[in-house]
Amino acid sequence: MPFLKSVLKQYDLVADKLKLDDRIRERLLYPKRSLIVSIPIEMDTGKMKVYEGYRVQHDVTLGPSKGGIRYHLNVNLKEVTALAMLMSWKCALMQLPYGGAKGGICCNPAVMSQGEIERLTRRYTTEIIGSIGPEEDIPAPDMNTNMQTMAWMMDTYSMQKGHTVLGVVTGKPLVLGGSLGREDGTGRGVFYMVEESIKVIEKELKGLRVAIQGFGNVGSIAAKLLYENECKVIAVSNSKGGAYNAAGINVKNLIQHAKKNKTVTDFPDVDNITNEDLLTLDCDVLIPAAIEGQITRYNANNIKAKIIVEGANGPTTPEADKILYDRGVLLIPDILANSGGVVISYFEWVQDLQFYFWKESEIQQRLKEIMVNIFNRVLPLSREKKIDIRTAAWMLGISRIAEAQKTRGLYP
């Protein structure tokens, strides 16, 4: 099922359960603003190439929109629209003063030079500059973008405004108003959700068997934290394949291997496996932290993990959700499990607006408090209503936006 269709199907299910007012239900189906921009840049060869970029702002009822920028060949308007809608539910669920947005460029950064990526980023920023800003829409890093990308965006925006504007993006380097703890925020949040969810099945971290699909920023940080807390990380994978050892993998050494070789395969004392194999390994916790649509009706019955913590956005289809729920698998959905990044982005934005910066220990403590608090609201609701945790999380997020829209009214 296409990703946007899957997200809209889930929205309809939740809207029915909430008995959402028809007018609000209709409004939330559509993004507030969708931009498609042409991005002509000069390549290193001297030739000009035109890329297509997107920025979708789904909702701004609770505050400025917020969401990442991704560079990938699969980026298109429908994908970005779906991700922007998910960001709306995520920000509302986490009780942040934001709406949801997402952006991206259809490109392959792996075959581009640093100079070409910089020119691409600066031109894209210029094309969307009328729609972004600290009080309008605040981009952040996502797939194949990073602190440097955000530094270029902030600089381009600031040059156009004539003064430095720290709060226009988050996920920046520390020297440009970035926040301590931002780079590992999403992975750390995934770790906190593993900590909380294993209490439900009366397990401990020590000896916990974990498999992680996706070994980028989110997957590698989560793996490192789990390894440091004596979990057995038995398998990890990236786009080039996976590594498996039932006795556990030395994650710190694997991170160095992956940085050097761009793959987790061919690491000492592991068996090479596929991404598909990893999903169905015998383990306690499965963390899909790669891309959407990985757990489907075709493999959901073969998953042996007791807990799934979604590090990626939309890795599980609605059909798979139902299968897993009926089988008693505890699934912590993306809008809760991977919300650590947007929570620390909020902290960064607040610090930038105040020109006052916090200690890393304070940031980590606040992040954990927020995520554990929301987990302890979502889990009882799922049990009370006899629904899966994703539906409960969506209900909390969507109902908060619906209440705000009803209170604000419709102008004009």
Active site residues: 102
DSSP-assigned letter for residue 133: B
Identify the residue whose tokens are 């997200």.
7
90 marked as part of a ligand binding site: yes
Amino acid at 375: F
Strand order in the sheet with 99-106: 33-42, 48-57, 99-106, 65-72, 137-141
The angle, 0 to 180 degrees and rounded to 10, between the axes of the packed helices 22-29 and 3-18 is 160
Integer angstrom CA distances of residue 295 from 55, 290, 320, 346: 27, 11, 6, 30
- Between the two ends of the chain, the Cα-to-Cα distance in Å is 38
| 220 annotated to a ligand binding site | no
Indicate the DSSP class of residue 301. G
Residue 17 known to bind ligand: no
Q: With contact defined as beta carbons under 8 Å apart, do 29 and 4 qualify?
A: no
- Kindly tell me the burial class for residue 31, based on how many C-beta atoms sit within 10 Å of its own C-beta (0-12, 13-18, 19 or more): buried
Pair 277, 246: CB distance under 8 Å: no
Number of Cβ within a 10 Å radius of residue 404: 16
From the list 285, 292, 349, the residue with the least C-alpha distance to 317 is: 292
Structure tokens given for 166 = 């720290």
CA 358/CA 292 separation, integer angstroms:
34
Best CA proximity match to 404, nearest among 14, 61, 17, 32: 61
Residue with tokens 């409960």: 392
DSSP 249-284: --HHHHHHHHHHHS-STT-TT-EEE-HHHHHTSS-S
CA 350 from centroid of its chain's CA atoms: 20
Side-chain half-sphere exposure of 10, counting CA atoms within 13 A: 30
Could you list the residues known to form a binding site for NAD(+), using ranges: 186, 217
Question: Residue ranges for the binding site?
Answer: 66, 90, 186, 217, 345
Binding-site residue set for substrate: 66, 90, 345
